[in-house]
Amino acid sequence: MSFETLGLGPNLLRSIEEVGYTDPTPIQQAAIPLIIEGSDLIGIAQTGTGKTAAFTLPMLETLERLTKDPARRGKTRALVLSPTRELVVQIHENVSAYARHLPLKVANVYGGVNEAPQKKALRGGVDLVIATPGRLMDLMGQGCADFSGLEFFVLDEADRMLDMGFLPNIRKIVKDLPKKGRQTLLFSATLSRDIEKLTKEFLYRPKTVEIGKRINPAETVRQCIHEVPKSAKLSLLKHLLHDNDLYSVLVFTRTKHGADRVARQLSKSRIPTSAIHSNRSQNQRARALQDFKDGKTRVLVATDIAARGIDVEGITHVINFDFPPNTEDYIHRIGRTGRANSQGEAISFITPEDHGPLRLLERKIRKTIYRKKVSGFNLSRSSSATKFKPYKSKESGKSSHSPKKNPRNRNQKSGNSRRHSGQRRSSGR
Ligand code: AMP
């Protein structure tokens, strides 16, 4: 199937060609015609499968078609809500690339930066606004936004927005949006039945597009586990980073403090590293992300919330320095690599406390993750090694350290064979 058959006009097809997409991804094939037809939609797909274009392309198509209608001029016609500032910036980059041949104005609204330009943009009548809920609420409270002509309302990463406690704000925002003539789209990588029920209050007779299983890590990501006592995690991380296959690495920690500590230690060991988390200023966050995208830093250490919007081309490895307590976070994290059909590897450090969440994850994804012994790394150097008991998977009933028995073993050493000769680019084009 080609983009031409999905109902997109020549201006958008031109931009799509310019950004280098040849074929629509499955979520785009399924969602684009339904959105153009006017349906409300719940879209569920794995991370990195092209969700952003799946909702922005048909939305831009419809906005362009009706752009000559004088009644619509000077009004905000589409609103996209997203959970993090980084994700807002990324969607904005994508939309700007897709809309470059369309007569539409697009603005960003998010916290942590001066609000004056955002107010000006809202008052000036931009066609499309991409926003985080908190800052948008503030500006709506100050009377800056006019959504009376809204045609599209999009909730992106809807599960995370609700997890992050944005539901009251979203409800208040939705109360001020017109009900009639508004098309609502809800996109998410994971969506529990409970959250889905809750979100239906915003949608009118939605169609659901579900690509892959509800809980399904990206297939382009190889996954493995290293058993390690807590006290040896940092040495293990440094040891792994001796391998140049780990070329562009996103490391996840549980806390902001932990992210700073790991980044500091790696920097001391002369590994170019920065950290991104919600205690850092917006400027620091933006710089950390840009340096990582440009290849100035090799490692970015992040907490879940800050990493939500990260879409950097060529992340070779995701390392769960701290294993996430819930499956959804695991899937989102590892989806930062292996994007758009490139190969990636996800490595998780597992301490005895993580055995419960790991078992739950393996049950949900119906797969035993490969336990890999790290060559050349001596666990017994660690002080807690004497108390350390490796995990036995219930699924396999085998010791976690049995690489010979794992058929995927042959592939493990190669890591990500993709090399970047020059600088990495942001995939936001
Ligand atoms: P998303 O799931 O929206 O975060 O997209 C993941 C990555 O896939 C981004 O880097 C997009 O630029 C890229 N992408 C989206 N659609 C396509 C497509 N049809 N062909 C190739 N790459 C795409």
Q: Which pLDDT score is estimated for 414?
A: 36
Contact 337, 313 (CB under 8 A): no
The protein residue with its alpha carbon nearest to ligand 1, atom 5, reads 50
3-state per-residue secondary structure call for 302-366: ECHHHHCCCCECCCCEEEECCCCCCHHHHHHHHCCCCHHHCCEEEEEEECHHHHHHHHHHHHHHC
- CA–CA distance, 67 with 29 (Å, rounded to integer): 25
162 CA to centre of ligand 1 in angstroms: 24
Q: Which pLDDT score is estimated for 191?
A: 65
Contact 362, 371 (CB under 8 A): no
Sheet-wide strand order for 317-320: 273-276, 299-302, 249-252, 317-320, 344-350, 221-227, 370-371
The protein residue with its alpha carbon nearest to ligand 1, atom 19, reads 24
Q: Which pLDDT score is estimated for 137?
A: 95
Binning the chain into helix, strand and coil, the percentages to the nearest 5 are: 40, 15, 45
Q: Which pLDDT score is estimated for 281?
A: 86
Tokens matching residue 238: 């440094």
What is the sign, positive or negative, of the torsion defined by CA atoms of 14, 16, 17, 23?
Answer: negative
The protein residue with its alpha carbon nearest to ligand 1, atom 6, reads 48
On the question of a common fold for 3-211 and 221-413, the answer reads yes
Ligand 1 nearest-atom number relative to CA 90: 4
Ligand 1 nearest-atom number relative to CA 429: 12
DSSP 389: -
Please report how many Cα atoms fall inside a 13 Å half-sphere around the Cα of residue 349, on the Cβ side.
22
- CA–CA distance, 342 with 425 (Å, rounded to integer): 14
The protein residue with its alpha carbon nearest to ligand 1, atom 15, reads 50
CATH fold of 221-413 reads Rossmann fold (3.40.50)
* Pocket of ligand 1, beta carbon within 6 A: 21, 24-25, 28, 48-53, 311, 339-340, 427
DSSP H or E segment with residue 224: strand 221-227
Ligand 1 nearest-atom number relative to CA 48: 2
Q: Would you give per-residue pLDDT tens digits along the chain (429 residues)?
A: 789 999 999 999 999 999 999 999 989 999 999 999 999 999 987 667 788 999 999 999 999 987 777 777 778 999 999 998 888 999 999 999 999 999 999 999 999 899 999 999 999 889 999 999 999 999 999 999 999 999 999 999 888 787 778 888 999 999 999 988 899 999 877 766 656 666 778 888 899 888 754 445 667 789 999 999 999 999 999 999 998 889 899 999 999 999 999 999 999 999 999 999 888 888 898 899 999 988 899 999 999 876 666 778 788 999 999 999 988 889 888 888 876 656 789 999 999 999 999 999 999 888 899 998 887 787 655 444 444 555 555 444 433 333 333 332 333 333 333 333 333 433 332
Q: Which pLDDT score is estimated for 380?
A: 59
* Cα angle 191, 342, 226; round to 5: 75
Which residue from 359, 264, 130 is spatially nearest to 251, judged by alpha carbons?
A: 264
Which residue from 117, 8, 134, 6 is spatially nearest to 61, judged by alpha carbons?
A: 8
Tokens matching residue 24: 């629509």
Write down the residue that tokens 């994804």 correspond to: 365
- CA–CA distance, 192 with 163 (Å, rounded to integer): 11
Q: Strand, coil or helix: what is 107?
A: strand
Tokens matching residue 2: 């080609």
| Structural domain boundaries in the chain | 3-211, 221-413
CATH fold of 3-211 reads Rossmann fold (3.40.50)
What is the sign, positive or negative, of the torsion defined by CA atoms of 111, 113, 116, 119?
Answer: negative
58 CA to centre of ligand 1 in angstroms: 15
